[in-house]
Amino acid sequence: MSGEPRFRRRKADRPAEIVAAALAVFAEKGFAAARLEEIARRAGVSKGALYLYFATKEELFRAVVGQAIAPNVLGLRDMFAQHPGPFRDLLRLVAERLTAAAGAPAFGGVAKMVIGEARNFPELARVWHDELAAQALDALAAAIAAAQARGEVRPGDPRAYALQIAAPLVMGVIWRETFVPVGAPSFDLAALAHQHVETLASGLLQETAR
Amino acid sequence: MSGEPRFRRRKADRPAEIVAAALAVFAEKGFAAARLEEIARRAGVSKGALYLYFATKEELFRAVVGQAIAPNVLGLRDMFAQHPGPFRDLLRLVAERLTAAAGAPAFGGVAKMVIGEARNFPELARVWHDELAAQALDALAAAIAAAQARGEVRPGDPRAYALQIAAPLVMGVIWRETFVPVGAPSFDLAALAHQHVETLASGLLQETAR
Amino acid sequence: MSGEPRFRRRKADRPAEIVAAALAVFAEKGFAAARLEEIARRAGVSKGALYLYFATKEELFRAVVGQAIAPNVLGLRDMFAQHPGPFRDLLRLVAERLTAAAGAPAFGGVAKMVIGEARNFPELARVWHDELAAQALDALAAAIAAAQARGEVRPGDPRAYALQIAAPLVMGVIWRETFVPVGAPSFDLAALAHQHVETLASGLLQETAR
Amino acid sequence: MSGEPRFRRRKADRPAEIVAAALAVFAEKGFAAARLEEIARRAGVSKGALYLYFATKEELFRAVVGQAIAPNVLGLRDMFAQHPGPFRDLLRLVAERLTAAAGAPAFGGVAKMVIGEARNFPELARVWHDELAAQALDALAAAIAAAQARGEVRPGDPRAYALQIAAPLVMGVIWRETFVPVGAPSFDLAALAHQHVETLASGLLQETAR
DNA sequence: TATGAATGAGTGTTCATTCAT
DNA sequence: AATGAATGAACACTCATTCAT
């Protein structure tokens, strides 16, 4: 009777369902070891159906990166760009956002995948860099430079500072994805973020700003 | 004295030559995408000769990880364990050593490989963790705890501190391996290390120790 | 009635077509020397298609043995089990059936294959034994024991008698498969069967010589 | 000191040692599955040394068949040819000799090998046929024909009679080689030979049933 | 739009054979 | 005569991609 709209909605959702399944499989296995058959099975479609929406496996990989990036990048960048200060509050926000982003299971998996496959699929590294890593890093560096101009942050390379800020949390995620499955103890990302902010605050900022 | 044993030396060197070639190819392509034929070609031997020394591709992978790990791990761990203080000097040493280790082309490539293939080859992640990552991190954490006991370092989770210390340099290497080939600007690892030590020193240490 | 389901029939027949081709190739070459590519070519499919139906070469081998066994075993065993006597009539039936079975080109080839590969693939020997050789031999031995109980057959080991009955015909087939292709004269299996039945019934020697 | 003669003797024995090792391995695995490395190891020489004596694997196979055949064939044939009768005594002799030959572990293994590899290596089947099987069978058939001429043996095809005489014992050996390793009960070859001689002499059926 | 059977190029691995020593 | 490291052709098996239906 009214089966038709449901059917159409399913059809419209197919690409997104496939991308979601591919995200999971790519994050688990990496690009080369991911099997299109498994992606199709998880998406509930046939292998052939994948090719109705994506011309090649690499194309599908691109769609995955794009979809995993989109929700994260704009918010982060804008947050950095528009933050008025004081810088210590921005630090806390960064830590919160990174902790939240890291909580998404996709993030670590895709990050691992990008790192692992960068040399074999440079364009994917380019997308991830241009649309996520560089955007976030540069926006954060700009915010740091602004804070330096306001006298809130010590002199130094703002881009390096940005890396210093983000690296422990990113590494915490990579650690979790890489070593926890083989028995290593995890890091409490929220606690790590909190401690890192404190460390940075008391050392990164000018005496007068403390 | 005796005649030049050219062929004997070659035979004895074969495994090392193969491992070196495999290191290069694995670092470039990751495990799955590495072709034994290319490894053999770079080692200057036939594909069949690989099997005189390594029973499977995975065995060869293990040898590569083992060889890339061995030179690094012992020195680092002992350095941490035996350092008497003050802690600020240890920080500088850590930065130097990490910068030097990161300079070795093997390190970044193998790290990338381990991260990328961890889920598909858990044993490799286990080796890398047990023999390198955990050893270095725990030794550094122990040194931090000792420095905390001496009143040189603020209270806080020493293992998290250890990650905070190492992460930016490791991320700098991963950045170089991942994004520089697609046009991203690199980080000057030595300068990054220097700035990071300064940042940590002024924030990580107690007022009295500064 | 419904439209001719040509393609459906082809799909349904594929496994049987492949097994038939494999039977031919295995019978000709034995297991180790059989090439999957040749099997695929004779079946009119690609090498990859074999793996849609059989997980490994050994699995395919098992299917071949199973298919070669199925049509033969049930009839033979039941014939032995249910035959009421006199025993001489059963002898004639056995000879007829063995001659007919030996006429099937599959039998000799598969028998040769099982004999040749038994040590390397014990499970195949087990299948052939449990489902064909032992069944037929034991059923015949039971019929002989019954005939002994009726006083029709001399005392003696019924299982050995069963082997004495079957062996010349089986050897005739093996001879044909093994030596006739290199120029040896064949045996006329029907005539051999007839003479063997007579010999078993009355002995080889003339009355006067006994 | 006097090491020299011993060394020379060893050298002279090499081919025979290699053939003996090859016989064992071929009998166990068949031709295709036999590994030259294992043959060399069992012979206590290097793989390369095999090629000092035998140009190819097939050549080695031929030497094995030749060596395994030689000791058996002449005696059997001459025994048949020269036996004066009565025929019943010859039957007993045949059974004894076949039982003894079957007791040699080599016989069954090589027979199995020849059967299994006949189609792939026709020349080997030819050697086995021309120098062993046909010689023995034809000599026995000739003896039977002579006995028929003397009125000792019933009319009938003497070559078929020869097969009827030999087949149960040969099948007993093949059964042992093929099915006993997977748990089948063996046949007592000596008892089988005895019963078969009696059966041939007097028939399977009781006097009253004939 | 959707299927899934089919393809075939590509890969890891084996092993008879060669050859420098 | 002897070694054993090295070769490379050959094979089982995989999987991204195609296409008849």
Does some domain include residue B85?
A: yes
Instruction: Please tell me the predicted confidence (pLDDT) of residue A206.
Output: 55
Q: Is B205 helix (H, G, I), strand (E, B) or coil?
A: strand
Q: What number is the average pLDDT over the span A36-52? A: 95
Out of A158-167, C85-94, C132-141, C197-206, least confident range: C197-206
A192 touches chain B (CB under 8 A): yes
Task: Scan for tokens 């024995």, then name that residue.
Answer: D13
Does some domain include residue A176?
A: yes
Q: Which of B115, B181, B192 sits opposite A116 (nearest CB)?
A: B115
Are the CB atoms for A21 and A33 separated by under 8 Å?
Answer: no
Residue whose C-alpha is closest to residue C169's, from C193, C188, C185, C197 = C193
Interchain CB distance below 8 Å, A201 and B203:
yes
The string of DSSP codes covering B139-164 is HHHHHHHHHHHTT-B-SS-HHHHHHH
Instruction: Please tell me the predicted confidence (pLDDT) of residue B125.
Output: 85
Residue whose C-alpha is closest to residue C165's, from C137, C190, C189 = C137
Report the percent of chain B where pLDDT is more than 90: 43
Q: Which of D33, D156, D199 sits opposite C120 (nearest CB)?
A: D33
Question: Residues B157-209: pLDDT tens digits?
Answer: 999 999 999 999 999 999 998 999 999 999 999 999 999 999 998 866 554 43
Instruction: Please tell me the predicted confidence (pLDDT) of residue C158.
Output: 95
Report the percent of chain A where pLDDT is more than 70: 87
The answer to whether C48 CB sits below 7 Å from nucleic acid chain E is: yes
| Tokens standing for residue A114 | 């990008």
Residue whose C-alpha is closest to residue D157's, from D170, D168, D141 = D141
Highest mean pLDDT among A30-39, B107-116, C93-102, D80-89: A30-39
Does some domain include residue C173?
A: yes
Comparison of pLDDT for A13 and C24, the residue scoring more = C24
What's the Å distance between residue A57 CA and nucleotide F16 C1'? 8
Question: Residues D173-186: pLDDT tens digits?
Answer: 999 999 999 999 99
**Protein CB footprint (7 Å) on chain F nucleotides:** 1-21
Are the CB atoms for A12 and A53 separated by under 8 Å?
Answer: no
A207 φ, ψ (degrees, to nearest 5): -50, -45
Interchain CB distance below 8 Å, D205 and C154:
yes
Q: Which of C86, C112, C160 sits opposite D187 (nearest CB)?
A: C160
The string of DSSP codes covering B64-128 is HHHHHHHHHHHHHHHHHHH--S-HHHHHHHHHHHHHHHHHSHHHHHHHHHHHHHTTT-HHHHHHH
| Cα–Cα distance for residue pair A100/A92, rounded to 1 Å | 12
User: Nucleic chain F: which protein residues 36-95 of B have CB below 7 A from it?
Assistant: 45-49, 51-52
Q: Which domain holds residue D75?
A: 61-209
| Tokens standing for residue A101 | 């982003």
B97 touches chain A (CB under 8 A): no
| Cα–Cα distance for residue pair D60/D65, rounded to 1 Å | 9
- Using CA atoms, how far residue A123 sits from A74, A137, B178, B185, C166, in Å, is 21, 19, 11, 16, 72
Work out whether the CA dihedral C97, C99, C105, C109 comes out positive or negative. Answer: positive
B174 touches chain A (CB under 8 A): yes
- Which single residue has its CA nearest the C1' atom of nucleotide E20? B7
Instruction: Please tell me the predicted confidence (pLDDT) of residue B204.
Output: 63
| Cα–Cα distance for residue pair A92/A83, rounded to 1 Å | 12
Confidence of residue A70 (pLDDT cuts 50, 70, 90): low
Instruction: Please tell me the predicted confidence (pLDDT) of residue B30.
Output: 85
The pLDDT of residue B36 is above 90? yes
Q: Which of D119, D166, D184 sits opposite C134 (nearest CB)?
A: D184
When divided into structural domains, chain D yields a total of: 1
The answer to whether A6 CB sits below 7 Å from nucleic acid chain E is: no
Measured between CA atoms, how close is C12 to chain D, in angstroms?
32
In this complex, the nucleotide whose C1' atom is nearest to the CA atom of residue C53 is: E5
Q: What number is the average pLDDT over the span C73-101? A: 82
Instruction: Please tell me the predicted confidence (pLDDT) of residue C81.
Output: 78
Q: What number is the average pLDDT over the span D131-152? A: 90
- From chain C, the residues in CB contact with D171 under 8 A are 163, 166-167, 170-171
D187: left (phi over 0), alpha (psi -120 to 50) or beta: beta
| Cα–Cα distance for residue pair A130/A118, rounded to 1 Å | 13
Q: Is D205 helix (H, G, I), strand (E, B) or coil?
A: strand
- From chain A, the residues in CB contact with B30 under 8 A are 30, 32, 116-117, 119-120
Measured between CA atoms, how close is D187 to chain C, in angstroms?
7
| Cα–Cα distance for residue pair C47/C45, rounded to 1 Å | 7
What's the Å distance between residue C113 CA and nucleotide F19 C1'? 39
| Tokens standing for residue B110 | 């193998």
Instruction: Please tell me the predicted confidence (pLDDT) of residue B117.
Output: 82
Are the CB atoms for C133 and C77 separated by under 8 Å?
Answer: no
Comparison of pLDDT for A103 and B70, the residue scoring more = A103
pTM check: above 0.75? yes
Q: Which of C126, C167, C179 sits opposite D167 (nearest CB)?
A: C167
In this complex, the nucleotide whose C1' atom is nearest to the CA atom of residue B8 is: E21
What does DSSP assign to residue C153?
B
Instruction: Please tell me the predicted confidence (pLDDT) of residue C65.
Output: 81
In this complex, the nucleotide whose C1' atom is nearest to the CA atom of residue B7 is: E21
Does some domain include residue C95?
A: yes
What's the Å distance between residue B29 CA and nucleotide F7 C1'? 26
The pLDDT of residue D4 is above 70? no
The pLDDT of residue A178 is above 70? yes
Please name the residues between 129 and 148 in chain B that touch chain A, using a CB distance below 8 Å: 129, 133-134
Question: Residues B11-35: pLDDT tens digits?
Answer: 678 899 999 999 999 988 888 889 9
Interchain CB distance below 8 Å, B120 and A179:
no
Mean pLDDT of chain D: 85
Q: Which of A115, A172, A202 sits opposite B163 (nearest CB)?
A: A172
Choose from C115, C204, C206 for mutation: most chain D CBs within 10 A.
Answer: C204
- From chain D, the residues in CB contact with C208 under 8 A are 151
The pLDDT of residue A7 is above 50? no
Are the CB atoms for D102 and D172 separated by under 8 Å?
Answer: yes
Out of C150-164, C165-179, D79-93, least confident range: D79-93
Measured between CA atoms, how close is D63 to chain C, in angstroms?
19
D149 touches chain C (CB under 8 A): no
- From chain C, the residues in CB contact with D30 under 8 A are 30, 32, 116-117, 119-120
C32 touches chain D (CB under 8 A): yes
CATH of the domain at D111: 1.10.357.10
Task: Scan for tokens 């006429």, then name that residue.
Answer: C103
Instruction: Please tell me the predicted confidence (pLDDT) of residue B205.
Output: 58
Beta-carbon-side half-sphere exposure of residue D20 (alpha carbons within 13 Å): 9
Are the CB atoms for A161 and A90 separated by under 8 Å?
Answer: no
Confidence of residue C206 (pLDDT cuts 50, 70, 90): low
Does some domain include residue B169?
A: yes
A61 touches chain B (CB under 8 A): no
The answer to whether D48 CB sits below 7 Å from nucleic acid chain F is: yes
Instruction: Please tell me the predicted confidence (pLDDT) of residue B169.
Output: 94
D120 touches chain C (CB under 8 A): yes
Confidence of residue D48 (pLDDT cuts 50, 70, 90): very high
Q: What number is the average pLDDT over the span A119-126? A: 81
Q: What number is the average pLDDT over the span A31-39? A: 91
| Cα–Cα distance for residue pair B116/B112, rounded to 1 Å | 6
What's the Å distance between residue D57 CA and nucleotide E17 C1'? 10
Does some domain include residue C47?
A: no
The answer to whether A203 CB sits below 7 Å from nucleic acid chain F is: no
The answer to whether D45 CB sits below 7 Å from nucleic acid chain F is: yes
Does some domain include residue B12?
A: no
Mean pLDDT of chain B: 84
Question: Residues C38-47: pLDDT tens digits?
Answer: 999 999 999 9
Does some domain include residue A22?
A: no
Q: How many CB pairs under 8 A join C and D?
A: 238
Give the helix ranges, DSSP H, for chain C. Answer: 6-29, 36-43, 47-53, 57-82, 87-103, 105-117, 122-128, 134-149, 158-178, 189-202
Instruction: Please tell me the predicted confidence (pLDDT) of residue B34.
Output: 93
Interchain CB distance below 8 Å, A159 and B134:
no
Interchain CB distance below 8 Å, C171 and D166:
yes
- From chain D, the residues in CB contact with C131 under 8 A are none
Interchain CB distance below 8 Å, B202 and A202:
yes
| Cα–Cα distance for residue pair A129/B42, rounded to 1 Å | 31
| A186, burial (CB in 10 Å: exposed 0-12, middle 13-18, buried 19+) | exposed
What's the Å distance between residue C37 CA and nucleotide E11 C1'? 17
Instruction: Please tell me the predicted confidence (pLDDT) of residue D67.
Output: 79
> Which residue of chain C is at minimal alpha-carbon distance from D34?
C120
In this complex, the nucleotide whose C1' atom is nearest to the CA atom of residue D35 is: E15
D87 touches chain C (CB under 8 A): yes
Highest mean pLDDT among B3-7, D10-14, D46-50, D77-81: D46-50
Instruction: Please tell me the predicted confidence (pLDDT) of residue A205.
Output: 58
Comparison of pLDDT for C210 and A36, the residue scoring more = A36
| Cα–Cα distance for residue pair A155/A148, rounded to 1 Å | 7
